[in-house]
Amino acid sequence: MTHDEGAGREVVVSAVAGSATVRVLRDRTAGLFLVVVVVSGFGTSAMWLAAGVWVKSLTGSDSLAALAVFAMWLPVLVGPALGAIADRIPAKPLLLGSNLVMAGLLATLPLVDSAGRIWILFAVLVLYGVSFVLMGAAESALIAGAVDARLLGDFNGLRMMASEGMKLLAPLAGAGLYARFGGGAVALLDAASFVLAAGVCALLPAREPAEAAPTTGWRGELTAGIRQVWGSPVLRPLVLAGAAAMLCAGLNGAAVYAVIDGVLGHSPAYAGVLYAVQGAGSVAVGLLAGPLLRRLPERVFTAAGIALFAVAVGARALPYDAVALVASAAVGAGLPCVLIAAMTAVQRESPEAVLGRTSATANTLMMVPNAVALALGAGLVALVDVRVLLPLVGAAGLLTAVLLVRGRRGRLTDAPTGPVPSPSEA
């Protein structure tokens, strides 16, 4: 290939990628959802930070402060059951109602002004997690029916970019608001974001409900998502690899402060710098995910992301600031590849009647190992030097990537999904 031919190919690839992004943004449903992600994501990121600080300030307990974040994760454990509920309720009313209910619940939190009322905050945080599982399942159903299958990777990448972008901005706003006015003000900000999100959801086009899956009893209802994931030669390896990667991510997350203090010799505040760089990596990969998923098999795309993440985790054991910053960016770029590919495959491969349960089940299978590893990692970093632990975690990640690529059971993947159709072909 000549230089001119190579340059021409790069221009064509760039034009196709650009046209794909434009087509996603022009789609009414996809565009409105991205607005919802930005609006509600800002409030959620601010509240996520404030919750633990709020509990700590009222109770003085580090353990209860840690439980505040865990309370928001807890409903993920019952994701398949919540997904079954989402499959029985039309997606638009579910999204609209969930946003309005959460706005009302958050508006009660200014009442939490003493340790004796802290239970109100924990109850709202648990329901917060419930709403996110329900809304995530409803979103998958609407997007899968509205967005061309060849553009699902672009949408999920843009969604990741929007979500991570808010995580870069909102914590600063939340911290400033909390310092000036207290936790109640942050809760009201989050409530306002849910009201705005509900307003955007009201603009979503209504869709005919999916044909209900055959009734199989409550046990069959709850296990439909598991059967869909496990029975699919495309979904099973991606979700299992995602679970393994998120397990490694939890161990890596638990070791962050040990790295900052024991390896780099900085104060805990340096974590803010590392998280900001990591978020920037996630924003960048969000733009590239769609074009890459059209040109690489899903297993290869996922394995490449896991390998990049694994190498970065191992490199964090080195006592150099420059390496730590590059490693944080690589973690931010590599780990989202796993989630984007898995959820894109779920949206493409699952029948609409069980899409909510399949999406919630896949999310549960991938996120529970992360929560478990965070807890285990807190104990491991006290027993094992992070300069030994992190290279071992990185090696486990690399092994996961190799096994995913070398897997021979079932189809390798349906992706790449081919070129983006022109408007005349759509």
Question: What does the pLDDT read at residue 425?
Answer: 39
Nearest to 141 by CA among 190, 94, 79, 203: 94
Q: Pull the structure tokens for residue 292.
A: 């890459």
Please say if the pLDDT value at position 322 is more than 70.
yes
Mean pLDDT, rounded, for 201-216? 66
Average confidence (pLDDT) over 65-90: 84
In tens, the pLDDT along 327-386 reads 999 999 999 999 999 989 998 888 888 888 888 899 899 988 988 887 788 788 888 888
pLDDT of residue 5: 44
> Is 295's pLDDT higher than 80?
yes
Q: Give yes or no for residue 313 having a pLDDT over 90.
A: yes
What is the predicted pLDDT for the residue at 421? 43
Q: Is the pLDDT of residue 149 over 60?
A: yes
Give the mean pLDDT of 200-226. Answer: 69
> What is the reported pLDDT for 307?
97
pLDDT in tens, 14-61: 444 457 677 777 777 888 888 888 888 888 888 887 888 888 888 887
| pLDDT reading at 388 higher than 60 | yes
pLDDT for 113: 87
Per residue in 231-281, pLDDT (tens digit) is 889 999 999 999 999 999 989 988 888 888 888 888 876 877 888 888 889
Q: What is the pLDDT of residue 248?
A: 94
